[in-house]
Structure 1
Amino acid sequence: MISELEKYCTQLLSAGKCAQLPFHNIEHTKEVVSNVKVICNYQRLSKEEIEPIVIAAWFHDTGHLELYQGHEEVSKRLAKEFLEKQGYPQAKLETVLACIEATKMPQNCTSKYAAVLCDADIFHIGTPDFFFKKLLLRREWDLKDIMKVSDIEWHKLNLKFLHDHHFRTAYGKEILERGKLENEEKVKYILGFCE
């Protein structure tokens, strides 16, 4: 079922509005799926525990096909329709939907499964990729008329996000947090030249 699901989500994310997004596109989803596996392996979760998180990772941004803000509700609907057709167990389906729901900003993790997906979704803030990814996100917000700000305002927004964010998994706290703090210092350094 996972290979069918992967194919289905890839088609959704490679078409229409999803294909036009610089950040929330098929590449981001593939990275999130990979990040889920990294975090789950670090935390020694079983294959049975990993499965619904991987499924949620594939579906979590598919709702961009229909709308940008509030896309999580559409993502949950698409996941539910697909999984019910597959006869996926109801308890696991609820876990998938809760994981997708938790990725709404600000993130609200209510289980260890949701915590994995949330950390996987913003994994990049704890890596050197942060600076490239934030350029893609800024471009996306510009295209969607979400936010148009000066360079200084953009750096301040990123600094606040980094400062306010807390990883929820052991992997996030023990590995990604260090990179996040380094990125925070780099943004402060950049701001020092702008002001």
Structure 2
Amino acid sequence: MIITRAKEYCIKILSSSNCKKLPFHNLSHTQEVVEHAALIAKETSIDSEETEPIIIAAWFHDTGHSKTYFGHEEVSKELANEYLTSVGYDTKKIKIVLSCIDATKMPQHPSNLHAKVLCDADLFHIGTELFFCKKLLLRREWELEKIKTYSDKEWHKINLAFLEKHKFKTDYGQTVLEDMKLKNLEKVKTILSFY
């Protein structure tokens, strides 16, 4: 089955490269995105054949971190295209996989339902109680990657701005995840009120 083969291929990349050193964009994150993509697709009544390229895209979406941090989506698309072409995967479905990966670039701009599902799966955590834990992992990752070190106040301001601008793309995101995202936003505002 193509999903199993793609999963094994991506696990090798995510387990044996720079990805394994990343606190946030690692194998664990990818596994969560795959799980959430499957859940959102099911709740959106997308059939298994249509769900397949979304799940494959979820496995590949952060593999580009194995070679670069910035612009990793382009590398992820290259890795996906190369692998899927080599195993004779349907060219129309490859285009869907690539459009899904492309849509995860920030700010997200999905052009179809498949991509909307992956976008919401990728940022699923912001609509859960795990948001604060996950953002600490991302902050540590940015420090380790020498992107930037922020003061606590700066970091909370960045997260506030992100949550205020963000919009879930699927009905599932808007009806199930949005409520907790708004609660997280209010918590960030409360934290900032003490500075």
User: Is the shorter-chain TM-score for this pair beyond 0.5, marking a shared fold?
Assistant: yes
What TM-score does the superposition give when structure 1 sets the normalisation length?
0.98
* Distance in 2 (alpha carbons) for counterparts of 1:181 and 1:145: 30
Give the letter aligned to residue 163 of structure 1: E
**Helix, strand or coil: the match of 1:105?**
coil
* AA of the residue aligned to 1:158: N
Give unmatched runs, 5+ long, in structure 2: none
Give the SS at the match of 1:172.
helix
**What secondary structure, in the 3-state scheme, does the structure 2 residue paired with 1:76 have?**
helix
Deviation of residue 175 (structure 1)? Answer: 0.5
CA–CA separation in structure 2 for the residues paired with 1:15 and 1:122: 24
What percent identity do the matched residue pairs reach?
56
Count of residues paired in the alignment: 194
TM-score between the two structures when normalised by the length of structure 2: 0.98
Distance 1:5 1:49 in 2: 16
| Correspondence 1:81-92 to 2 at 5 A | 81-92=82-93
Is 1:151 the counterpart of 2:152? The answer is: yes
Give the aligned residue type for 1:74. Answer: V
- Distance in 2 (CA, whole Å) between partners of 1:54 and 1:3 is 10
Matches within 5 A, 1:170-189: 170-189=171-190
Task: For 1:91-110, list aligned pairs within 5 A.
Answer: 91-110=92-111
- Output the amino acid matched with 1:131: F
Instruction: State the distance in 2 between where 1:158 and 1:40 align.
Output: 27
Whichever residue aligns with residue 182 of structure 2, its letter is: L
CA distance in 1, matches of 2:190, 2:38: 33
Report the AA paired with residue 5 of structure 1: A
Q: Give the CA RMSD over aligned residues.
A: 0.6
Which aligned segments of 4 or more residues in structure 1 are displaced greater than 3 angstroms? Answer: none
| CA displacement at 1:138 relative to structure 2 | 0.1
Counterparts of 1:1-195 in structure 2, within 5 Å, are: 1-193=2-194, 195=195
